[in-house]
Structure 1
């Protein structure tokens, strides 16, 4: 305690009852105790404030789902997850246990533009032969019999092997503009032959070779010249050739007028079946190609309907 304060304290003691005043040292100890008490209370108050702050922070961190706490400003946000690829419905099918299982893609080949296989018949009905158009029908009908299906070609016999069944007919025809009662304009020797598997195509190959190998040959009293002609769009494949020779009279001798007769022969393959239209003419004249082409299409249609 300072000297001035001690002097003041003594003056106060002289004016009052000295027993009612505590000694200066005792007063100093009391003052020091109160100071320590205030300091302790300040520390406790600060500790209480710190504890309350911590509890408040824990309460905030434990907030419900409606409260979202973002990361600190200097902390990078975690990357968003990459969405997984969802299989398409066509690639997933439920397995035996109910779980989805991936099915492998179909590997079955697709046959585009390939015709279905043609069955091999064992008999040839009359319905397999085409019917003439009404304008070309002479009314004489057709006659079935035996005989050659192709003209002679220098001794070759194309398509003679591998046959299963064969039928031949002759049918006269007239052109659309021919008056009723006139003689026919031509005569077909029309045949249908069933071959063993693979032999029908070989028969047409043999026919092509036979025509190429026989450019000329004697026929009766004249010379016949053979030549392959273009032919497409009939059946699976076809062969068309001509036989050209000088015109002859009724006795078979050259007419001497410089004219020529042309015979047309077309062989058509449909699967294992080969049909031949050999136009032989009627009392001379040449084969009318438009008529032969039209009747070739009729022949193919009749065979396809027969084979189904």
Structure 2
């Protein structure tokens, strides 16, 4: 029984003890009143006890509230990744004044415009002729390049010197070849050519010629053409049309020029007797570089 209910009963008993004792009817009414109060008090006590047990059970048995999560349709925000910073600026990687080899253009083969054309003062009226000619003179049996190529085309071109009157015969003939190599191989090819010239300082001009005429080869200093170039000379005793010595020497020039993965070779073969004009070969070499760069641009 709770403290409040006990106090209430004590107060009720005190009131009864303090009152006068009345007639039997009054006493009966008082007794009935006490009985009703006991019944009400007992019921109240039972109700309060039951309520306390229920409340206590709820307090003890109620699980802690679950943590409140985001609504089901709340989007999840990803954690941003940490970047190492903006990419480093790229550079061309190609020396100034040079032209890259365009893969798309090279894949289509070598067009006519990739070959140089003579300046008006050097033209003879004879059109260039595509011919399957050797790109280089023999150099003691060296094979250049030492691996397959992607594209190759060559042509023959006759020219005259500016001082030669129109109508006279040509002063010289070029064989120009253009060869496309795999990436990075053109540089190796030019190094192979340099080494082949070094390894072949002289050789018979014609193996079965009697008497033997030796051709001597040597590298010449060369800069300012394309990405790099190799210039060498072929020097032999001068001869007439019959092969008889006429005194002096005949010199022919060969220049290989690399532009990216493309190598063009100008081999000046002359026409009749005489020697190559270095000035003319230099001029036409610059025109050859310009034509290739325009093609690859």
Normalised to the residue count of structure 2, the TM-score between the two structures is 0.65
Maintained 8 Å contact 1:222/1:253: no
Residue 295 of structure 2 corresponds to: 306
Residue 138 of structure 1 corresponds to: 124
Superposed, 1:95-106 pairs within 5 Å as none
Superposed, 1:81-120 pairs within 5 Å as 108-109=88-89, 111=91, 114-115=94-95, 117-120=100-103
Q: Per-residue CA shift, 1:17-55, capped at 9, x if unaligned?
A: xxxxxxxxxxxxxxxxxxxxxxxxxxxxxxxxxxxxxxx
Task: Mark the structure with the bigger radius of gyration.
Answer: 1
Instruction: Kindly state the Cα deviation for residue 159 of structure 1 after the two structures are TM-superposed.
Output: 1.7
Superposed, 1:99-178 pairs within 5 Å as 108-109=88-89, 111=91, 114-115=94-95, 117-120=100-103, 121-122=106-107, 123-178=109-164
Figure out how many residues of one structure are paired with residues of the other and give that number.
204
* Residues 117, 286 of structure 1: alpha-carbon distance in 2 compared, 3 angstrom cutoff: closer
Instruction: Kindly state the Cα deviation for residue 160 of structure 1 after the two structures are TM-superposed.
Output: 4.6
Maintained 8 Å contact 1:263/1:287: yes
1:246 and 1:146 map into 2 onto residues whose CA distance is 28
The answer to which structure, 1 or 2, has the higher relative contact order (CA under 8 A, 6+ apart) is 2
Superposed, 1:165-244 pairs within 5 Å as 165-220=151-206, 221-244=212-235
2:222 and 2:214 map into 1 onto residues whose CA distance is 25
* Residues 160, 167 of structure 1: alpha-carbon distance in 2 compared, 3 angstrom cutoff: farther
Instruction: Kindly state the Cα deviation for residue 109 of structure 1 after the two structures are TM-superposed.
Output: 3.9
Residue 272 of structure 1 corresponds to: 261
Which consecutive residues of structure 2, in runs of 5 or more, have no partner in the other structure?
A: 1-83, 207-211
Residue 94 of structure 1 corresponds to: none
Q: Secondary structure at the match of 2:157?
A: strand
Instruction: Give me the CA root mean square deviation.
Output: 1.9
Q: Secondary structure at the match of 2:257?
A: strand
Q: Secondary structure at the match of 1:163?
A: coil
Which consecutive residues of structure 1, in runs of 5 or more, have no partner in the other structure?
A: 1-103
Normalised to the residue count of structure 1, the TM-score between the two structures is 0.63
Maintained 8 Å contact 2:145/2:189: yes
Maintained 8 Å contact 1:163/1:194: yes
* Residues 214, 196 of structure 1: alpha-carbon distance in 2 compared, 3 angstrom cutoff: same
1:110 and 1:206 map into 2 onto residues whose CA distance is 32
* Residues 108, 238 of structure 1: alpha-carbon distance in 2 compared, 3 angstrom cutoff: same
* Residues 110, 168 of structure 1: alpha-carbon distance in 2 compared, 3 angstrom cutoff: closer
Instruction: Kindly state the Cα deviation for residue 157 of structure 1 after the two structures are TM-superposed.
Output: 1.4
Residue 28 of structure 2 corresponds to: none
1:228 and 1:148 map into 2 onto residues whose CA distance is 20
Where has structure 1 moved over 4 Å in runs of 4 or more? 104-107
Q: Per-residue CA shift, 1:230-272, capped at 9, x if unaligned?
A: 11110011000001100011122322x2x10000000000011
1:142 and 1:167 map into 2 onto residues whose CA distance is 13
Instruction: Kindly state the Cα deviation for residue 117 of structure 1 after the two structures are TM-superposed.
Output: 4.2
Maintained 8 Å contact 1:222/1:254: no
1:210 and 1:217 map into 2 onto residues whose CA distance is 12
* Residues 193, 113 of structure 1: alpha-carbon distance in 2 compared, 3 angstrom cutoff: closer
